[in-house]
Structure 1
Amino acid sequence: MRKIQSQGVHHITLMGADRQTSIDFWEGVLGMPFVFEQPNLDNPKDSHLYFDPGDGRLITIFTNEDRQADRRRTSTDTGAVHHIAFNVSKASFTQAADRLKARGIVVHGPKDRGFMDSLYFKDPLGLLIELACYRFEPPVGCTYADVMIRAHKIRVERGDYNIQEIHLADAIEELVETRQHSLSSDRSAKNPF
């Protein structure tokens, strides 16, 4: 038996209400360019809208003019989607709550997640949306996942409850030391003062 190796999220498709509600939210609130539209090839009564969440991948929405927006919280039953999180820069994160509240949107947070900060709010159809802002940048040639797995191992080795900035800083230092070469024979910490 062999695995099928994924290489990233291709797209996420959500059930929307009418077309304009989707455009107004995904592009008009979250700034995702509306890049493509065609009929839903499995249900021609629906339209299929495509938005770029900022990394060139896609968020797609099935819309139908006969469906109305329902703001009640979407199901959190087993097997349901709890929330979708989008990465934002620190500059955008610090402005996000005020910009959402200016639209009358209820915002929860910011919440300290140790390795990131989060804000939560619902879309017009009751889906919980998270805006997440990492507290670190991975070293050149590394991914966020590289830093997270190393920080997790450091946290577990130290018996700490959750990942904190000290674990991230130590993970980044270890990744740089193991992946980037140096002419120095001793790369340990020094005090030149």
Structure 2
Amino acid sequence: MTKTQGDAQPDRSAIEAERGRIREKQLRPSGERPASSARGLHHTALISSDVERTIEFYQGVLEFPLTELIENRDYPGSSHFFFDIGNNNLLAFFDFPGLDVGPYAEVLGGLHHVAISVEPDRWRRLVANLDRAGVDHTVHSEVSVYFRAPDGARIELIADPLGEMYGNQVL
């Protein structure tokens, strides 16, 4: 179902009731959940239109060290490069020279945003870096900042610890 201008607002009480039904059916208390089959997120891969600009933004502004820059095994001439985002996790990028991949778009099954946890003092410094770099951003709840990366992906830096969201345990 797509919404167009002029559509009535969704029935939020019905949506909350459906969320409650799903929560009751699917969400197990933390002590009753099985262990995950995964070890963690190895990397999330995004697409870059300009390798050097992407490196300057993520390493220079966000202070995520570049850890590797290699050829993409699946597309000769394409680069595959990685940034350390802490806790043995990586943020990766591909470029696809010669392909017209088009601008960033949020679509069903696509990326809404990437949320990266940072220490509170570092969070404040990175928000100041965004200011200095002229990157448009929005601060929420004094622990979360959203902005668009150079190719349009929405990034969130959040000062909450891993497994916590705005003071609530989510893990």
Q: Bin the TM-score by the shorter chain.
A: 0.5 to 0.7
For 1:124, the aligned partner's letter is P
Q: Is the 8 A contact 1:105 1:121 kept in 2?
A: yes
Query: By how many angstroms is 1:84 displaced?
Result: 0.5
Rg: which structure is higher? Answer: 1
Distance (Å, rounded) in 1 between the aligned partners of 2:93 and 2:124: 28
Structure 2 portions without partners, runs of 5+: 1-34
For 1:99, the aligned partner's letter is N
Match 2:62 to one of 14, 30, 33: 30
Q: Is the 8 A contact 2:81 2:93 kept in 1?
A: yes
Q: Is the 8 A contact 1:35 1:50 kept in 2?
A: yes
For 1:23-62, list aligned pairs within 5 A: 23-62=55-94
For residues 78-118 of structure 1, what are the alpha-carbon distances to aligned partners after superposition, in whole Å with 9 as ceiling and x for unaligned? 11100101111111122332221111111101x12xxx821
Q: Is the 8 A contact 1:18 1:64 kept in 2?
A: no
For 1:21, the aligned partner's letter is R
For 1:28-177, list aligned pairs within 5 A: 28-64=60-96, 74-109=104-139, 111-112=140-141, 117-134=143-160, 144-145=162-163, 165=167
Structure 1 portions without partners, runs of 5+: 138-143, 149-162, 169-193
RMSD of aligned alpha carbons: 2.8
Aligned length: 135
Q: Is the 8 A contact 1:17 1:67 kept in 2?
A: no
What does residue 8 of structure 1 align with? 40
Check if 1:18 corresponds to 2:50: yes
For residues 120-171 of structure 1, what are the alpha-carbon distances to aligned partners after superposition, in whole Å with 9 as ceiling and x for unaligned? 111000111101011xx6xxxxxx54xx5xxxxxxxxxxxxxx875x66xxx
Q: Is the 8 A contact 1:19 1:65 kept in 2?
A: no
Could you tell me the percent identity over the aligned residues?
27
User: Under a length normalisation based on structure 2, what TM-score does the superposition of the two structures give?
Assistant: 0.68
What does residue 186 of structure 1 align with? none
Deviation above 3 Å: which 4+ runs of structure 1? Answer: 64-68
For 2:82, the aligned partner's letter is Y
Q: Report the CA distance shift for 1:77/1:65 in structure 2 as closer, same or farther (over 3 A).
A: closer
